[in-house]
Amino acid sequence: MLKTQGRLGELAVEVHSDVPERFHAGMKLWGLRDDGTRREVEIEELWPHKGHLVVKLRGIDSISEAEHLVGCELQLPRNERAQLGADWAFVSDLIGCAVSDGGREIGRVADVRFGAGEAPLLIVGSAARKYEIPYARAYLQEIDLEGKRIRMSLPEGMLELDAPLTEEEKQQQRQMKR
């Protein structure tokens, strides 16, 4: 949930569903917090607004009550999920998957970011750094969601695109500035 929206506890929600009309009054969802705790919530009312969905949740009747839910991810119960096609996955299933490229482990999926291009970006973390890797069919070799593994074949140099500068590169930049 993005932010509070109104005086009576309404919340603006970014929808990551190809079927946004599936959401309706009376529907029960889970609110997942950053710390991993969940809270069951029920939609009392909802309406589209400026590219988002505004939801009024039962029992949330003020801005201060709604503020506690900002940042939560709304999730459908597993038994209400739609069937997905091949190579499709729910964001919640991707989180925690180990990502490898050509046998080399890159890290685990910490988040999935939308809106940066055609494909969502897997935010993959390792002890040393984080990578933004397009979750694009062209790069996928194997997805094992039960085993929490994603094998990819990434173009050469993709992981180095936003890598920190080496000492040699820093020296070259300093010389160019002179």
CATH of domain 91-157: 2.30.30.240
- Whether 62 and 8 have beta carbons less than 8 Å apart is answered as yes
Stretch (H or E) spanning 26: none
CATH of domain 3-78: 2.40.30.60
Least confident span in 68-77, 99-108, 135-144: 68-77
- Whether 13 and 24 have beta carbons less than 8 Å apart is answered as no
Amino acid at 48: P
Q: In what order do the strands lie in the sheet with 38-49?
A: 3-4, 11-13, 52-57, 38-49, 28-32, 73-75
Kindly report, residue by residue over 88-134, the tens digit of the pLDDT: 788 888 999 999 998 889 999 998 888 777 888 999 986 668 889 99
Q: Which two structure tokens, joined as six digits, stand for 144?
A: 């094992």
Classify residue 143 as left (phi > 0), alpha (psi -120 to 50) or beta: beta
| Whether residue 173 has pLDDT greater than 70 | yes
Counted residue by residue, the chain has a size of 178
Kindly report, residue by residue over 7-53, the tens digit of the pLDDT: 999 999 988 776 777 888 999 998 888 787 888 999 999 998 888 89
Distance (Å, rounded) from C-alpha 54 to C-alpha 11?
A: 5
Amino acid at 109: V
Give the residue extent of every domain in the chain.
Answer: 3-78, 91-157
